[in-house]
A and B are shown apart, each in its own frame.
Chain A
Amino acid sequence: MNMSKIVRSAAHLLFPAILVYGFYIVVHGHLTPGGGFQGGAVIATGFVLLYVAFSYQRLQEWFHLDSFKNAEALGLLLFIVTALVALGLGATFFYNWMANTGGLFGMPVPFGPNPGYLNTAGTIPIMNIAVGVEVLGAMSVILFYMLRGIKGGDE
């Protein structure tokens, strides 16, 4: 027993738009309100929309549980490695070793209001992307485990 055709077509159309919107919130975390945690929650909402419009069997055909587990572990690992590199370069733990240097994400910024430049703020965009991937993986894994535990309890 399916949902109606309008609901399924709208879910097919809205899912890429939600993904792009969530990724925009994650990457522009140092210029506008947002960041890693908020953007990851928005992207996980897209997967919940797919579960509501289609059944759980279709969702199991499209996405495997192992890919979300790997994504969550990879996000946390990238976060810790970015913080440990500063310890290897001679400064303290979590030092911003990429800000104001001129390399990747290293343009210096004068004081005062300015239209935001994406090339600034050092290790903060990298940490935003790492935390966004981790929150996306965590929310999807919790959702999949609870659905599998309710439906397939005596399988």
Chain B
Amino acid sequence: MYLNLPFIGAGLLVLIGIAIILMRKNLVKMIMGLSIVEAGVNLFLVASGYVDGGIPPIFTAAGDTVMVYPTVQAMTLTNIVIGIATTALLLSFVIIVYRRYGTADVDGMRRLRG
């Protein structure tokens, strides 16, 4: 049962992140939960390309064993940069909302005020 431990870890990270988004009312804490979900997805991507007894796919100081698959690692690189872009834009929107409404609480900005 514990042989696929990285997949269980990635699933737990996604679950904890979704629980944080659903349970908290502060905007900055919701953004932290989204960041944890993205970390879980990156772990799942890297763990799905592992071959038994493999070494990193670099020929500079390699032996004679099999190598791990390199395509999923390229996808993870792209996903990390996209996470940075999303978090930067969300945080700047939080600054604008705080300057307009005076609070960063979700319940204080429910009605559409003029």
Contact = CB atoms under 8 A, between A and B. Distances in A.
Interface of A: 31-33, 35, 37, 112-116, 142, 145-146, 149-150, 153
Given A37-B77, A37-B81, A146-B92, A153 B99 contact: yes
A13 to B, nearest CB: 29
A33 B58 contact: yes
B76 to A, nearest CB: 11
Contacts of B61: 113, 115
Interface size class of B (residues with CB under 8 A): 10 to 19
20 contacts: A31-B60, A32-B60, A33-B58, A37-B77, A113-B59, A113-B60, A113-B62, A113-B63, A114-B59, A114-B60, A115-B60, A116-B60, A142-B88, A145-B92, A146-B92, A146-B95, A149-B92, A149-B95, A150-B95, A153-B99
Given A115-B61, A145-B92, 20 more contacts: A31-B60, A32-B58, A32-B60, A33-B56, A37-B80, A37-B81, A112-B59, A113-B59, A113-B60, A113-B62, A113-B63, A114-B59, A114-B60, A142-B88, A146-B91, A146-B92, A146-B95, A149-B92, A149-B95, A153-B99
